[in-house]
């Protein structure tokens, strides 16, 4: 008994002791990390928030079905083009009437990095009091696994299919979290589902910082269906993304960068790509290119962390 | 009790729009500059900087965001105002439709401007014609005083519990936007008094943080159909509601505009000329002149373009012998003016009489008194059985 008590971690507390605002049987695929993120965020931030979302894989659950709701959160649904701007309107109105409200945008990378990028960039520059959480499944999953601008180099998607004349996506992913941090936002961080303690800390920090200005959290969130991987492998894939430096965990508070998870001996990128069949067609030379890109990006973040330390 | 006499200022249409919006005490104000309405944004920012306007000001990075900001603020329970023109309206097209679908009662001033290409920096009504099926209420006004009065009335209409729909208040870009006229600026207390009845109404549905309530989630299947139906019936109610609000405004401020349409010498008229916006003012003087010549002509100024004032028009037009309609935009696919096309749809109710479409005043070209004389002369001749041309592009025939 006593031993069990000791084992309790913060993450355990969040998951098992906080009320889950969702009902069971929601319309997400088995093994989907977006579901995990969507369930975890309110557990840490509390149910007393306004969730703002748009079309994407999160939408069917957030919308509910006709008169049936799948969660107990106050929710504002809008278009992919209007998430950060709608959140601005909500946040500004409640600020005007003197009510402290946590406004949380929760969208895919397709919205954040592509069609909804302009309003996101505008809201970040204006330092609106909003928390924007982007779950990055590296593509437009809801419409059938097409490429987005965060799809990595070489990934085979339904609009960049690998074939005799194609090696998958020809350009590397847009470095979204870095771009957002350069807006001068109050707080920017990366997170993933294999490192929940780290994610929780960042969410708590987000709640604190949102009264100062814009917060952006970029969550690496594999999609089993679109990436063509086993439904029980998603957490391991998250972990390997961190351990290979493919997705480094860092935060930037008022422009000051810090790695929150150092990888002593980074693993080769194959250990990340191997279980993911969207990379299955890549030859050694292609993998080398991907490795080179990962190394360069990691060095860049390391360099940013060194500034001012 | 009548309102006190307001201060008279000689100001542009844009500045007038800003004064009216400011006096309505909006909670959230945003807009993205575009010719010819930029001055609205500047004037509102100046009011804010001077401490006259106590609102959240959002300097958005584009019109699409402007519309999303005001719609969301409105759904959260606030009063919200924005302004735009032409491409700005096009760039917020998705959000415009969403705002009405949300039943977000925002008010937007539009300085009407052409759209076919970047060099079309000129007046015309094509921008709002392109938005006539967005589910918004659209009102077109004639002069600066009417801009002022109508923006105040627009908030009463938009936020009315029976309506809950967004309203566009349209004025001629370049002409009215930049034209300075004497405008009586109502006293703050009187504007408050006019908007007071909204506070007595039940609270409209809104987003409540922490409450399990979805905003902007629409039903599917039958739930969706029901929402659409309710939207349409609310639009329908807006017609007579505008008449009522306009009358009430007149009782308080001594100025009213006929609500949905303004009729001028229509009672005994044999023929009618129909216009909107600033052109109606010119038409009124030409009608006076033609009356002196013994031609029994009347004028109808269309104020409410959406919902279309069907009933009022039918009452005013029944028994008339011919109708000439002046449009400042085109109806693609029908090759005539859009208002003309709408008027044609009333034929079964008013009887088949000659209807003549005149396209004029596009691209900043003036709708002159000789132009309107021509409209009246030809319509009059048509009423007497003379052959007539259905559609006339006046500038091309000069
Ligand atoms: C303006 C607009 N264009 C296209 C769509 C169609 N659409 C719906 S979901 C989606 C993809 C969303 O991708 P992402 O934001 O990454 O979310 P995910 O599906 O991956 O969860 C698209 C393109 C849309 N809803 N709105
Ligand atoms: S398609 Fe992918 S992102 Fe969407 S619910 Fe399924 S696993 Fe999750």
pLDDT value of position A5 = 55
Instruction: Look at the block and give the residue holding tokens 């069609």.
Output: A115
Topology of A2-308 in CATH? Rossmann fold (3.40.50)
> pLDDT for B55-93, tens place per residue?
999 999 999 999 999 999 999 999 999 999 999 999 999
8 Å CB contact between A150 and A178: no
pLDDT value of position A81 = 98
Q: Residue A201, exposed/middle/buried by CB under 10 A (0-12, 13-18, 19+)?
A: middle
C-beta of A137 in contact with ligand 2 (< 6 A): yes
In a 3-state reduction of DSSP, which class is residue B304? strand
What is the rounded distance in angstroms from the CA atom of residue B351 to the CA atom of residue B320? 9
Dihedral sign of CA atoms B94, B36, A85, B204 in order: negative
Task: Report residue B325 as tokens.
Answer: 């309609």
pLDDT value of position A8 = 59
**Strands B391-393 and B7-12, sheet pairing:** unpaired
Q: What angle do CA B189, B195, B197 make, to 5 degrees?
A: 120
- B180's enclosing H/E stretch is strand B180-185
Q: Cβ contact (<8 Å) for A122 and B208?
A: no
Q: Whose CA is nearest to atom 3 of ligand 1?
A: A80
> pLDDT for B95-147, tens place per residue?
999 999 999 999 999 999 998 887 789 999 999 999 999 999 999 999 999 99
Those residues with Cβ within 8 angstroms of residue B252's Cβ, 6 or more apart along the chain or in another chain: B2, B3, B190, B193, B194
Please tell me the distance between residue A67's alpha carbon and the centre of ligand 1 in angstroms: 23
**Strands A250-253 and A187-192, sheet pairing:** antiparallel
Q: Is the pLDDT assigned to residue B160 strictly greater than 70?
A: yes
pLDDT value of position A2 = 47
Q: Cβ contact (<8 Å) for A77 and B217?
A: yes
- A61's enclosing H/E stretch is helix A59-63
What is the rounded distance in angstroms from the CA atom of residue B51 to the CA atom of residue B31? 19
pTM greater than 0.90: yes
What is the rounded distance in angstroms from the CA atom of residue B268 to the CA atom of residue B393? 29
Q: Is the pLDDT assigned to residue B161 strictly greater than 50?
A: yes
Best mutation site among A34, A106, A136, A143 for ligand 1, i.e. most ligand atoms within 8 A of its Cβ? A143
What is the rounded distance in angstroms from the CA atom of residue A226 to the CA atom of residue B93? 32
C-beta of A26 in contact with ligand 2 (< 6 A): no
> pLDDT for B204-244, tens place per residue?
999 999 998 888 776 778 888 999 999 999 999 999 999 99
pLDDT value of position B220 = 76
Q: What percent of chain A has pLDDT over 70?
A: 96
C-beta of A150 in contact with ligand 1 (< 6 A): no
8 Å CB contact between A216 and A177: yes
Q: Identify the residue with better confidence: B398 or B37.
A: B37
Tell whether ipTM is more than 0.90: yes
8 Å CB contact between B217 and B98: no
8 Å CB contact between B155 and B109: no
Identify which of A42, A211, A77 has the alpha carbon closest to the alpha carbon of residue B210. A42
Q: Is the pLDDT assigned to residue A1 strictly greater than 50?
A: no
Identify which of B107, B90, B65 has the alpha carbon closest to the alpha carbon of residue A78. B65
A27 CA closest ligand 2 atom index:
5
Q: To the nearest whole angstrom, how far is the Cα of A66 from the nearest Cα of chain B? A: 5
pLDDT value of position A47 = 86
Q: What percent of chain B has pLDDT over 70?
A: 99
The partner residue sitting opposite B76, judged by closest CB among A64, A81, A94, is A94
Please tell me the distance between residue A27's alpha carbon and the centre of ligand 2 in angstroms: 9
DSSP A130: -
A chain contacts of residue B214, beta-carbon cutoff 8 Å: 62-64, 69, 74-77
Q: Is the pLDDT assigned to residue A293 strictly greater than 50?
A: yes
Instruction: Look at the block and give the residue holding tokens 């132009």.
Output: B371
How many other β-carbons are positioned within 10 Å of the β-carbon of residue A24? 6
Q: At what angle do helices B188-195 and B144-159 cross, to 10 degrees?
A: 40
Chain A contacts to B (CB-CB under 8 A) = 21, 47-50, 62-67, 69, 71-79, 81-82, 84-90, 92-97, 99, 101-102, 118-119, 121-122, 125-126
The chain-wide mean pLDDT, for chain A, equals: 94
pLDDT value of position B149 = 98
DSSP string for residues in B194-248: HHTHHHHSPPPP---TTS--EES----THHHHHHHHHHHHHHHHHHHHHHHHHHH
pLDDT band, very low/low/confident/very high, at A27 (cuts 50, 70, 90): confident
Which range has the worst mean pLDDT, B121-125, B253-257, B287-291?
A: B121-125
Domains (ranges, CATH) in chain B? 7-253 (3.40.50.970), 261-397 (3.40.50.920)
Average pLDDT over residues A161-172: 97
What is the rounded distance in angstroms from the CA atom of residue B232 to the CA atom of residue B324? 29
Tell me how far apart the terminal alpha carbons of chain A are, to the nearest angstrom: 45
Q: Cβ contact (<8 Å) for A89 and B95?
A: no
Q: What angle do CA B76, B305, B147 make, to 5 degrees?
A: 70
> pLDDT for B184-214, tens place per residue?
999 999 999 999 999 999 999 999 999 988 8
The domain spans of chain A are 2-308
8 Å CB contact between B360 and B271: no
The alpha carbon of residue A44 and the mean position of all alpha carbons in its chain are separated, in whole angstroms, by: 15
């Amino acid at each position: 008994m006593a031993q069990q008590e000791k084992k309790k971690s913060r993450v355990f507390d969040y998951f098992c002791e906080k009320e889950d605002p969702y009902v069971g049987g929601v319309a997400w695929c088995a093994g989907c990390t977006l579901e995990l993120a969507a369930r975890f965020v309110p557990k840490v931030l509390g149910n007393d928030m306004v969730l703002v979302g748009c079309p994407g894989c999160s939408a069917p659950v957030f919308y509910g079905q006709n008169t049936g709701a799948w969660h107990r959160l106050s929710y504002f649904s809008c278009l992919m083009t209007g998430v950060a701007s709608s959140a601005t309107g909500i946040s500004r109105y409640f600020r005007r009437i003197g009510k402290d409200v946590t406004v949380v945008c929760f969208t895919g990378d397709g919205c954040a990095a592509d069609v909804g990028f302009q309003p996101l960039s505008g809201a970040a520059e204006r330092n609106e009091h909003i928390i924007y959480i982007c779950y990055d499944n590296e593509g437009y999953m809801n419409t059938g696994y097409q490429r987005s601008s965060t799809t990595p180099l070489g990934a085979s998607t339904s609009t960049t299919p690998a074939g005799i004349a194609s090696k998958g996506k020809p350009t590397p992913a847009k470095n979204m979290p870095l771009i957002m941090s350069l807006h001068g936002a109050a707080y920017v961080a990366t997170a993933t589902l294999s490192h929940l303690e780290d994610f929780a800390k960042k969410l708590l920090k987000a709640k604190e910082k949102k009264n100062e200005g814009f917060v952006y959290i970029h969550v690496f969130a594999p999609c089993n269906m679109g990436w063509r991987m086993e439904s029980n492998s998603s957490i391991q894939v998250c972990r390997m993304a961190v351990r290979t430096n493919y997705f480094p965990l860092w935060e930037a508070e008022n422009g000051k960068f810090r790695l929150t998870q150092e990888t002593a001996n980074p693993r080769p990128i194959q250990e990340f790509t191997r279980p993911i069949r969207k990379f299955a067609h890549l030859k050694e030379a292609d993998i080398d290119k991907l490795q080179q890109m990962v190394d360069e990006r990691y060095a860049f973040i390391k360099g940013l962390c060194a500034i001012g330390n | 009790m009548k309102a006190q006499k307001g201060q008279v200022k000689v100001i542009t249409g844009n500045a007038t729009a800003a004064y009216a919006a400011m006096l309505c005490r909006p909670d959230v104000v945003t807009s993205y500059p575009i010719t010819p309405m930029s001055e609205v944004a500047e004037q509102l920012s100046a009011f804010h900087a001077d401490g006259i306007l106590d609102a959240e000001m959002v300097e958005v990075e584009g019109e699409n965001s402007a519309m999303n900001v005001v719609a969301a603020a409105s759904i959260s329970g606030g009063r919200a105002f924005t302004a735009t023109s032409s491409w700005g309206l096009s760039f917020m097209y998705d959000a415009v439709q969403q705002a009405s679908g949300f039943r977000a009662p925002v008010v937007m001033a539009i300085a009407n401007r052409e759209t076919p290409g970047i060099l079309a920096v000129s007046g015309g009504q094509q921008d709002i014609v392109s938005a006539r099926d967005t589910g918004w209420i659209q009102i077109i006004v004639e002069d600066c005083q009417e801009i002022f009065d109508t923006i105040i009335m627009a908030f009463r209409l938009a936020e009315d519990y029976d309506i809950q729909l967004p309203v566009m208040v349209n004025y001629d870009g370049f002409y009215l936007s930049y034209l300075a006229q004497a405008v009586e600026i109502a006293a703050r207390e009187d504007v408050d008094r006019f908007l007071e009845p909204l506070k007595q109404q039940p609270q409209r549905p809104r987003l409540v943080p922490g409450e399990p309530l979805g905003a902007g989630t629409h039903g599917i299947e039958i739930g969706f159909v029901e929402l659409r139906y309710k939207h349409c019936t609310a639009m329908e109610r807006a017609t007579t509601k505008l008449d009522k609000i306009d009358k009430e405004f007149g009782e308080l401020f001594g100025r009213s505009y006929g609500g949905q349409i303004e009729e001028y010498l229509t009672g005994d008229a044999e023929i009618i000329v129909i216009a909107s916006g600033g052109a109606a003012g010119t038409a009124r003087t030409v009608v006076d002149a033609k009356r002196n010549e013994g031609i029994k002509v009347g004028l109808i100024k269309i104020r409410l373009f959406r919902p279309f004032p069907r009933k009022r028009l039918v009452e005013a037009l029944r028994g008339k012998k011919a109708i000439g309609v002046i449009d400042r935009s085109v109806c693609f696919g029908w090759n005539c003016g859009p208002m003309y096309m709408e008027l044609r749809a009333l034929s079964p109710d008013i009887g088949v009489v000659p209807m003549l479409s005149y396209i004029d005043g596009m691209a900043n070209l003036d709708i002159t008194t000789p132009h309107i004389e021509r409209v009246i002369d030809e319509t009059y001749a048509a009423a007497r059985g003379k052959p007539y041309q259905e559609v006339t592009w006046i500038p091309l025939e000069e």
